[in-house]
Structure 1
């Protein structure tokens, strides 16, 4: 049911091995001709190549508006809709799934959305090496792989070591917005975020879905099957 592909492989390893965390699991998929054409034609304008040095996001977007990092955009439909609903924010969208990268670029071209830049790389390396501290006003991680079998829980993306990497990149007053359709993972997310003294929950526990986040087809299907969806929105206070 989930449409994202992130997971750390070794989130419970000792501190000195945190660099082994990865934000994805590679999976194969069929690249359509339209998706490949979008990559070929639109990557020079909307794609950002990985480099092991800090980049100026204002230069990437050509303006100094608030920057939001999205990790794991799936096929990009929700990301494009969010960017349309929040035209005054810029979105750096990261995923490694080739057809998804092609599809989001295709949507960007079709809907003439100018406030998205796309990366196909491990988000952990991007966070560690390309983003300056305080560069982000928001972070979105929607429906990451829940790894629902208990023996696989350690592969989940949203764990303390990864959030600790993200928070320095977030401005004071910035927010982190998570969403999941797996209740046990929602409980873990709440526990992880609540463990940081410089994060403050915007709700008593789970937040109402913000108006900018559209309902995905997976989410709608889950609701029809009686599944719940949990949003968490925390603000950085220091």
Structure 2
């Protein structure tokens, strides 16, 4: 659940107008592990069926999937096992996954083929750019962000992907009534997400007490999460509906 290139040095200013050659702050670091043989074969053999190449042009999602259906987009799907499980469990919906780490993309393709899933498309690219350039306005029913990099050091909090500007950019891609679903195992990040979302224009918290929700059944319980539960670690789910 991470995104793509090494961020600029903390001691450099972030103002792109004064530093024209600096990239904008990234919410992720590219930790590119070595591909296994299986992952490499999956990319070579199945990218044409599942993969979508990045280009700065809006997609026709009905054409992409060959039908009109509810659409779920997941940002940072890791190795893809949970995403594939969700797609298999909901064949009437279409799923879009975005991940920058090639081994994870390869693993996701391999799992999708093994499970016979055909309602899934995958990007290997920066989610912020895919959302901005390729996803049409009001085309998504759900956006999922599960266990993103928490950037736990305070000086790195500005790199957390859940920030006001990102939330508003994402909001325009959701249909009215669409849901932004987040989950994290870092309590401080959960508090940060809650603060940002409570202040975000156009969203309503689906929690009865305006805080967190119970994990919904459609979000699979990962091995990582199960291990954390055994160790007494918490997990916080947040679900906010677009209302305007």
Question: TM-score, normalised to structure 2's length?
Answer: 0.90
Q: CA deviation at 1:150?
A: 1.0
Report matched runs for 1:77-226 at 5 Å: 77-203=81-207, 204=209, 205-226=211-232
**Larger RCO (CA under 8 A, 6+ residues apart):** 1
Distance 2:30 2:122 in 1: 17
- Are 1:5 and 2:9 matched, yes or no? no
Task: Find the residue that maps to 1:20 and give its secondary structure.
Answer: coil
Distance 1:215 1:5, change over 3 A: same
Query: How many pairs are equivalent?
Result: 233
Gaps of at least 5 residues in structure 2 are: none
Question: TM-score, normalised to structure 1's length?
Answer: 0.92
Q: CA deviation at 1:15?
A: 10
Q: CA deviation at 1:20?
A: 2.4
* Aligned residues of 1:68 and 1:89 also touching (Cα < 8 A): yes
Gaps of at least 5 residues in structure 1 are: none
Q: CA deviation at 1:88?
A: 1.4
* Aligned residues of 1:146 and 1:156 also touching (Cα < 8 A): yes
- For 1:177-204, what per-residue CA distance to the aligned partner results, in whole angstroms no more than 9, with x for missing partners? 0000000100010111111231001112
Aligned CA-pair RMSD? 2.0
User: Which of the two has higher C-alpha Rg?
Assistant: 2
- For 1:154-188, what per-residue CA distance to the aligned partner results, in whole angstroms no more than 9, with x for missing partners? 11111111111111011001000000000010001
* Aligned residues of 2:3 and 2:100 also touching (Cα < 8 A): no
